[in-house]
Structure 1
Amino acid sequence: MIKRILFIDDNAEDGRIFQQIIQESFSSIAIDFASSGSQAFALLSKTRTDVIFLELIIPGMDGIECLTKLKINRNTKKIPVVLYTASKNEMEKKLALKLGAFDIISKTSNLSIRTDKIKKILSLSDHH
């Protein structure tokens, strides 16, 4: 059962929309927010996380670098990482999947499509 999500994105509005989707769909899931990769790793060092949603376009350590570090770290490598991104760079998205990203959700798709995909991913992640 998914109990805690880490949402890594420096865009506060995207975080607010994501939180609204989760709160309307799942009553028992907590969300931690990080605006950078380094902030995410600080949170992960002290908080158990079931699923990570990661923007590719973040300051400092970009999404690919953050994903790579998540997948080589023995404490985080098994946590499913879902790209939740505005990036249109298809090569970067393919690389992320190759590096171990669980799935990709485009922020440019409409809200109901994003909501449906988030719900589907979170119900699938229950079985990981």
Structure 2
Amino acid sequence: MEEQSVVLVVDDVKTNVLIMRQCLKEMFQVWTADSGEECLRVAKQKPDIILLDVLMPGMDGYQVCRQLKADPETAEIPIIFVTAKDSDDDEQKGLEIGAVDYITKPIRPAIVRARVSTHIQLKQHSDKLKFMALHDQLTGLYNRHFLAERAAQSLSAMVRHQQELSIVMLDLDHFKKINDFNGHHIGDLVLQAVAKLLQDCFRKEDVVARMGGEEFVILMECGLDIAREKTEDVRQQLARLNPMGLEVTGSFGVVTANPQNAELSHLLVLADEAVYKAKADGRNCVVCYQDGAYLTVEHD
């Protein structure tokens, strides 16, 4: 059963809240708040849309809308103003500060349901397009465009706040043989299994991206020692994975950023050279770039 979208109704008059709930409950899950302050708290739980009264004691709807739009956690939630104020100036003001629509009282249930449905569908479509723009379509991992965007932010933060940052590159070994002998469909399933392993192994704050083909890159906010240890653990798990009953291993390159090499393109070159050395050393191993040298991590 498809999960219902969530509508947050914000109004300080209980009768209005009851009318809106009655109007929407058959189509949507309805949350309520009776003040601007409560709306800001509940909105952190990410409703799909907010129906916001304008005239409320304390914070009015316009103030609430401005704060919601200023907060990255809630900025993308569509807001529809619901109010008895029906002048063109009022409507213009609401739209200018970020609302997507404006419904005037008294409430007409059919209009409310239609407007809410339309804006939820638009939001879902927009979310899907954004996901597709930033994710690899086969594996669901981030793509190189998102990696470049996040890396620029992380490298800038590293320089400003002296944070640690490492990049791990993984290239699956002999992947062409898997495609040649088993078909590209099986190869795709292997890539999906590897992607899931990487998502499970790394933290949510790490960026796991597919660069294309059988190459993956992970951006980690940590130093070389932690990155090396984590990567070796992932190498071992990958060697035991056996997706589709096939033996799959990977060659890994690890490099840590510093203020002198705080460019993604340069770090990727170093990580790629580390992967190349891992291939030359027999594959299925981790090579770290440190102090101008490439060092292979010993393993049993």
TM-score using structure 1 length: 0.82
Offset of 1:67 from its aligned partner? 0.6
Q: Name 1:63's counterpart in structure 2.
A: 61
Residue by residue over 1:45-67, the C-alpha shift from the partner in whole angstroms, topping out at 9 and shown as x without a partner, is 3x222211111111110111111
Counterpart code for 2:32: F
Q: Is the 8 A contact 2:47 2:77 kept in 1?
A: yes
Across the aligned residues of Structure 1 and Structure 2, the Cα RMSD in angstroms comes to 2.0
Offset of 1:115 from its aligned partner? 3.2
TM-score using structure 2 length: 0.38
Q: Name 1:33's counterpart in structure 2.
A: 32
Counterpart code for 2:58: G
Q: Name 1:16's counterpart in structure 2.
A: 18
Structure 1 38/20 Cα, relative in aligned 2: closer, same or farther at 3 Å? same
Residue by residue over 1:26-61, the C-alpha shift from the partner in whole angstroms, topping out at 9 and shown as x without a partner, is 1xx32221111111112233x222211111111110
Matched, 1:107 2:109: no
What 5-or-longer segments of structure 1 have no aligned partner?
A: none
Of Structure 1 and Structure 2, the greater helix share is in: 2
Question: What does residue range 84-99 of structure 1 map to in structure 2 within 5 Å?
Answer: 84-99=82-97
Q: What secondary structure sits across from 1:13 in the alignment?
A: helix
Q: Is the 8 A contact 1:2 1:125 kept in 2?
A: no
Q: What secondary structure sits across from 2:47 in the alignment?
A: coil
Q: Taking every aligned residue pair, what percent have the same amino acid on both sides?
A: 27
Structure 1 114/49 Cα, relative in aligned 2: closer, same or farther at 3 Å? closer
